[in-house]
Structure 1
Amino acid sequence: MPYTWIPGKTKQKHKTHVNLMAPVNSVFPDITPLLSGCNRPLKMSFEDQLNILVYFHLEEHRSGRHLLQVLKEEHFARLHIAPEGVIEKSSFFEDISSRGLPQMMEMFGKLYASAAKHLPRGHAELGNLVLIDGSLIDAVLSMYWADYRKGSKKAKVHIGFDLNLGIPKKIFLSDGKEAERPFVEKILAPGETGVMDRGYQSHKLFDAWQADDKSFICRIKASTEKTVIKMNDIQPGSIVFYDAVVLLGTQGANRTEREVRLVGYQVGNVNYWIATNRHDLTAEQIAFAYKLRWNIEIFFGWWKRHLKVYHLISRSQYGLMVQMLAGLITYILLAIYCHDQHQEKVSVKRLREISINIRNEMSFEDIVNETGTWRYKPPSRGQLRASS
C-alpha cells in the first residue's frame, strides 16, 4: 500500500518507553527540584539524569563513555533521552558524582510506595517478609573510601528486598569491610520479618530485635549451643526433624536473654537450623520462608548481570549511590511494566523484548517523524488504472 509523506507533524512518542517510564513521570511533580548551586543553569535536570541512568541500565551499556556516545549518536537516545544541547563528558560525570542523590532517594521511596499499592502480594500468609543481604562491588584503587584489604578496594551494598512484592525496598552503601549485621536495624521496620543467612547470627541482636517488635528468620551455625525450654510436636513425614523453644549460646558468655524458636529441617543431605521469634507459623512454613531467601541471591545475580549495575560510572561514594538507586528504580519499573503488560514477574526475556520494541518503534516512528510523519493515503483512480 502506498504511503504519503506529510511534513511538519509532531514527533511521536515510543509506546513501550512511555509505558515503562509512566510511574516515574507521574511522581516527578512531587520530587524536590534539583537547583543549580551558582548562577549558571544546570546542564542536566534531575529528570534528565534519571532518564539517562535508567536507559544506561536498560540497554546494558558497558561504561559511562559508551553511554555518552549513544546519547550523541543513537537516534532514539538523542531525541528522547539526552538533555537539550550538547552534554560534555566532564559535565556529565561531575553531575552524576555530586548532584541528584536526595532526589534519587526521594524517587526510589515514592516509587516503592506506589508499587506496593499496585503489585500483587505473594505469600501473604507468612506476613511481611524482607530478605536482607549484602553484596560486594569491585572498585578501583583510586576509590580510597572503599576500604577492603591491602591492594584491593571494594564497596558493599546492603539491600532489603520485599519478598511479597518481589522488589527492593531499602538500600545502604558502605566500604567493603563494613559489617552487615548493623544494617538490619536500618532496613527492618517493626512488624516485619527479616529473612537472613547465618552471617547475620547475633544473639545480642536477636534480643534487641525482639525488644523492638521486629521478627527474624535467621539460619544459625549447627554447632550453636542451645538450652531447651520446650519441645514442640513434629509432623510425621515432614522434612522438619526439630522444633523447640530454646535459649541460644553459652551461659555467662553469649546466651540470649529472650527465648527463641529453633527449627531444624533437612533438604538432601544438608541440615538447616533456623532461629526465629515467629511462633505463629508452622515449622514447615518457617522452612519454606527461609528457602525463599534464595530470591535475593537471584535478584543480585540478575541485577549485576543483566542491568549492568556494577559497571561503574562514578568513583565517588555519592555518585555510586546515585547509580545504585537508579538501578533499583529500573528494576521496580520493569516489575510494574511486566505485571501490567504481561501479568508476569521480571525476566530477561521481557527486558530484551522491551529493548527490541523500543528499537523497532524507533525505526518506524522516530526516524520518519524527525521532520514529519507517514500517513496512509488511498491510491487515486488514476494510480489504480496505471497499476492494473
Structure 2
Amino acid sequence: MPHSNTVLNQVVRFFKRHEFETLARKHHVGQQFRSFSRWSQFTAMLVGQLTGRKSLRDLVDNLKVQGHKLYHLGTRDVPRSTLARVNEEQPHQLYKELFHKLLGRCQAIAPKNRFKLDAKLYLLDATVINLCLKVFPWASYQKAKGAIKLHVGLSADGYLPEFFDVTTGKEHEINWARLLKLPTGSFVVFDRGYTDYDWYQALMDSSIFFVARLKDNALVEYFKKRPGRRSQGVLTDQEISLNGIKGSLRLVHFVAEDGNEYRFVTNANHIPAALVAELYKERWQIELFFKWIKQNLKIKAFYGTSENAVLTQIWIALCVYLVLAWLKFMSKITITMQQMLRLLQLNLFERRDLESLFKPTKALPNPQLALL
C-alpha cells in the first residue's frame, strides 16, 4: 500500500507556504511572535472550518488530541488564549489577500458558464447574518439587533465569488454595487433591490449589460415592439425608456412554466428575449451559494467577538470554499461540494490519497458468484 500523508496535509498544500509567509510579514502589527505564527493561526482556523468545531475551546481541544498528526504542517502548539488574541488583533487583510490569490488560481481552471456569451456573467446579491448586538456592538443593524451583510458578485464561470465584501447590516446593496469595477462588455444580473437609475446609466456608459426586474411603480414610456418571432413564454419584447435614463432600454415580459409573470429590463439588445429570462433565472445560483456557505461553513457562529476576528473567520471560510472548488475542477469529479466536505470531515486526519477519497471505489467481483 503506497504511503500517503494525512488528508489535511494534502489540503494544506493548496496554499503556497512562501506566498503565505510573504503576506504574513506584510500584514503584521505589533511585536514579532516568539513561538506562535500566522501559519499556526491559519491551520488551526482551517481545521475549525473543515471540522465544524462549535467553539474556540472545542477547536483547541481537538488540535491537542491530533497534535501528533500536525507536526509535519509546520505548526506549533495552539494555546486558546493566544489564538483568541491573534484573531482579535492581527489584521484580517492577510486572509482577504490570500483569498484573491487563490481565486486567481481557481479562475484559471474554472468551467465556462452554460450560456454562449462571449463575455463574463456576474450575479449580484447580498445576505444578512444576524448577530447579538450586546456581544457584537460594532455590528449595528436595527435598534435592538446586530447583523453583518455579505455582498457577493458570483461569476457564472464555476460559480466563484469573484467580488466579495462584508459590511454592517445597515449598508445598502447599491452602495457596494456602485464601487464594483466590472469588465467592459460583461453581463450583470441583479434583483429589484439594486434599482438605481443613476447606476443603470453608469453601466450603460461603461458598455456593461445588465438584466434586472422592473419595479411595479416604475415610470415607463413604451415604444415600438421589437421585430421577430417571440419564443415560448415571451409575452412582450419592446423598447422602453425610464425616467432619468438617456437612451432606450428593453422590456421583456415573460411568463414562467409555473404561470408567474416577470418583467425584465435590460440594455442588451443583441440577445434573444428568451435568453434575457434565462440569464435572470441563473441568478438563483447565488441564492444556492448563500445557502451552501451558511449550512456548511462556519460563518454564522464565531470564535471571537471583535470585527477583526469575525472577518478573519469569514475570509478563511471563503478560502475553504475555493479549495473545494479547485479540487472539484482539477479532479473533474461528479459528487457535490457538500459531499466533498463531508468526506474531508470524516477523513481529515487519516492517511489517505486525497484524489481517490472523492472517487467511488470499484466493487470487487464476488468469487462465489462465479461458482453459480
- In the alignment, structure 2 segments of 5+ residues that lack a partner are 353-372
Q: 1:260-299 to 2 correspondence within 5 Å?
A: 260-267=249-256, 268-299=258-289
Higher relative contact order (CA 8 A, sep 6+): 1
Sort the Cα spacing of 1:133 and 1:354 in 2 relative to 1 into closer, same or farther, 3 A.
Answer: same
Please state whether the residue corresponding to 2:262 is helix, strand or coil.
strand
- In the alignment, structure 1 segments of 5+ residues that lack a partner are 2-10, 250-254, 363-388
Q: Deviations over 1:174-201 (max 9, x none)?
A: 1111111121123341323221111111
For 1:82 and 1:52, how far apart are their aligned partners in 2? 12
Sort the Cα spacing of 1:144 and 1:80 in 2 relative to 1 into closer, same or farther, 3 A.
Answer: farther
Question: What's the counterpart of residue 173 of structure 1?
Answer: 166
Sort the Cα spacing of 1:297 and 1:246 in 2 relative to 1 into closer, same or farther, 3 A.
Answer: same
Equivalent residue for 2:313, pick from 323, 327, 348: 323
Equivalent residue for 1:150, pick from 143, 154, 166: 143
Equivalent residue for 2:121, pick from 114, 129, 132: 129
Equivalent residue for 2:341, pick from 343, 348, 351: 351
Q: Deviations over 1:212-235 (max 9, x none)?
A: 333321122234231123421353
CA RMSD between the two structures = 2.6
Question: What's the counterpart of residue 213 of structure 1?
Answer: 207
For 1:188 and 1:260, how far apart are their aligned partners in 2? 22
Sort the Cα spacing of 1:20 and 1:136 in 2 relative to 1 into closer, same or farther, 3 A.
Answer: same
Equivalent residue for 1:225, pick from 207, 219, 227: 219
TM-superposed CA distance for 1:20, in Å, is: 2.9
Question: What's the counterpart of residue 241 of structure 2?
Answer: 247
Partner amino acid, structure 2, of 1:94: R
For 1:311 and 1:76, how far apart are their aligned partners in 2? 28
Question: What's the counterpart of residue 97 of structure 1?
Answer: 88
Sort the Cα spacing of 1:25 and 1:76 in 2 relative to 1 into closer, same or farther, 3 A.
Answer: farther
The answer to whether residue 296 in structure 2 is matched with residue 306 in structure 1 is yes
TM-superposed CA distance for 1:318, in Å, is: 2.1
CA contact (8 A) 2:28 2:90 kept: no
Q: Which has the larger radius of gyration?
A: 1
For 1:200 and 1:35, how far apart are their aligned partners in 2? 34
The answer to whether residue 253 in structure 2 is matched with residue 259 in structure 1 is no
Tell which deviates more after alignment, 286-295 or 233-242: 233-242
For 1:46 and 1:118, how far apart are their aligned partners in 2? 29
For 2:173 and 2:323, how far apart are their aligned partners in 1? 27
TM-superposed CA distance for 1:98, in Å, is: 2.2
Question: What's the counterpart of residue 107 of structure 1?
Answer: 98
Partner amino acid, structure 2, of 1:207: Q
TM-superposed CA distance for 1:32, in Å, is: 5.3
TM-superposed CA distance for 1:22, in Å, is: 3.0
Sort the Cα spacing of 1:214 and 1:70 in 2 relative to 1 into closer, same or farther, 3 A.
Answer: same
For 2:34 and 2:127, how far apart are their aligned partners in 1? 34
Partner amino acid, structure 1, of 2:255: Q
